[in-house]
Amino acid sequence: MTQPASIEDVQTLLSGQDYICARPLATVVFLALKLGRPLFLEGEPGTGKTEIAKAIAAALGRCLIRLQCYEGLDASSAVYEWNFAAQMVAIRTAEASGTADRGALQEELFGPDYLTERPLLQAMRPHAEGPPVLLIDELDRTDEPFEAFLLEALSDFQVTIPELGTIKAAEPPIVILTSNRTREVHDALKRRCLYHWVDYPDFEREIEILTARAPEASAALSREIVAFVQKLRTEDLFKKPGVAETIDWAKCLLALDVISLSPEAISDTLGAILKYQDDIARVQGSEAKRLLEDVRKSLAPV
Ligand SMILES: Nc1ncnc2c1ncn2[C@@H]1O[C@H](COP(=O)(O)OP(=O)(O)OP(=O)(O)O)[C@@H](O)[C@H]1O
Ligand SMILES: [Mg+2]
């Protein structure tokens, strides 16, 4: 599969991977693929930012290469590392056999056999199936020097290894960056990318997602679950539930053979949707009952 031909094509391809893509998101995905631009996705946790990279890779039959960002991630661990242990063994072996030709050994030790490729370098390599999808996940966890480095790597799709020279991607990878916006990512990096804010889905779309991801749930139960989670998102909570929580919750309720929500079933399974004790304490008991009554009213046929 090379390129989707239209925005609808993107939606169809992704729904083939059980990923439900609203039109605005499908539009930026289409453009990112067509124009060969990196796609920068920011949004609430658990709204499908990481998942879309997996879905795009699977739909296009490409390899997915993931660079998980964390505090202290530096350029070398993102691009390549020399395999010190193997180098040491080679040195010892050469010493023991007494055949060490220093120059040749040095060249060998800093050659491809002793190079451990990390995600950015892997993404620059040719792949039989076509350019891979490079997912740079949770970029907001790294620091500014790494961002500056990334900016360079993404502008010309090449990386330099002092001992080996510059390696340039023959065809640029499909790059998807995600952030939870725990800090602002630098404008210069954003400027290189197409940007999209991934919000919580609306009711109908979340039903579609739940139907795709937890098809065992009946239509009536799915509607109750989604309406309840959407209602919770309007409450003053420390951490609102994402789509991932909706799916988890449905699976928990199904595992308990719940066919319709009740205040007891909700209280028993709140840990699947709320992950902070203060939030759980707030919703448990009479509040769960009140929310459920509101939800039932909103779902009642008019
Ligand atoms: N649009 C969607 N279609 C299908 N499944 C979805 C969608 N959005 C979210 N999901 C489900 O929610 C789960 C969590 O999504 P994902 O891990 O991509 O969230 P995220 O936005 O990367 O969250 P975080 O910011 O916490 O990393 C996915 O495994 C998937 O099952
Ligand atoms: Mg993620």
Separation CA 10–CA 8 (nearest Å): 5
Residues in the chain: 302
Domain over 7-75+118-198 is classified CATH 3.40.50.300? yes
pLDDT at 94 (0 to 100): 87
Query: Alpha helix locations (H) across 161-242?
Result: 187-192, 203-213, 219-233
Mean pLDDT per block of 10 residues along the chain (302 residues) reads 90 97 97 96 95 98 97 90 92 83 86 92 93 97 91 87 88 96 90 95 96 96 97 94 97 96 94 95 90 91 64
Ligand 1 pocket check: which of 17, 19, 50 to mutate, most ligand atoms within 8 Å of Cβ? Answer: 50
What is the CA(164)–ligand 2 centre distance, in A?
A: 34
Q: Let me know how many helices (H) and strands (E) the chain has, helices first.
A: 15, 9
What is the CA(44)–ligand 2 centre distance, in A?
A: 9
**Residue whose CA is closest, atom 4 of ligand 1?**
19
Closest ligand to 202 CA? 1
The answer to whether 260 touches 221, Cβ cutoff 8 Å, is: yes
Ligand 1 pocket check: which of 12, 50, 51 to mutate, most ligand atoms within 8 Å of Cβ? Answer: 51
- For the stretch 87-102, pLDDT in tens is 999 999 988 887 668 8
- For the stretch 215-263, pLDDT in tens is 999 999 999 999 999 999 999 999 999 999 999 999 999 999 999 999 9
Closest ligand to 46 CA? 1
* Chain-centre distance for alpha carbon 129: 21
Q: Give the number of the atom of ligand 1 that is nearest the alpha carbon of residue 244.
A: 12
Q: In the chain, what percentage of residues exceed pLDDT 90?
A: 77
Question: Is the distance from the beta carbon of residue 36 to the nearest atom of ligand 1 less than 6 Å?
Answer: no
Question: Is the distance from the beta carbon of residue 196 to the nearest atom of ligand 1 less than 6 Å?
Answer: no
Q: What are the boundaries of each domain within the chain?
A: 7-75+118-198, 80-113, 203-292
The answer to whether 176 touches 39, Cβ cutoff 8 Å, is: yes
Closest CA to 172 of 149, 156, 159: 156
| C-alpha torsion sign, points 142, 143, 148, 149 | negative
Question: Is the distance from the beta carbon of residue 209 to the nearest atom of ligand 1 less than 6 Å?
Answer: yes
Please list, in sequence order, all residues whose beta carbon lies within 8 angstroms of the beta carbon of residue 225, skipping any fewer than 6 positions away: 210, 217, 246, 249, 250, 253, 261
Task: Give this prediction's pTM.
Answer: 0.92
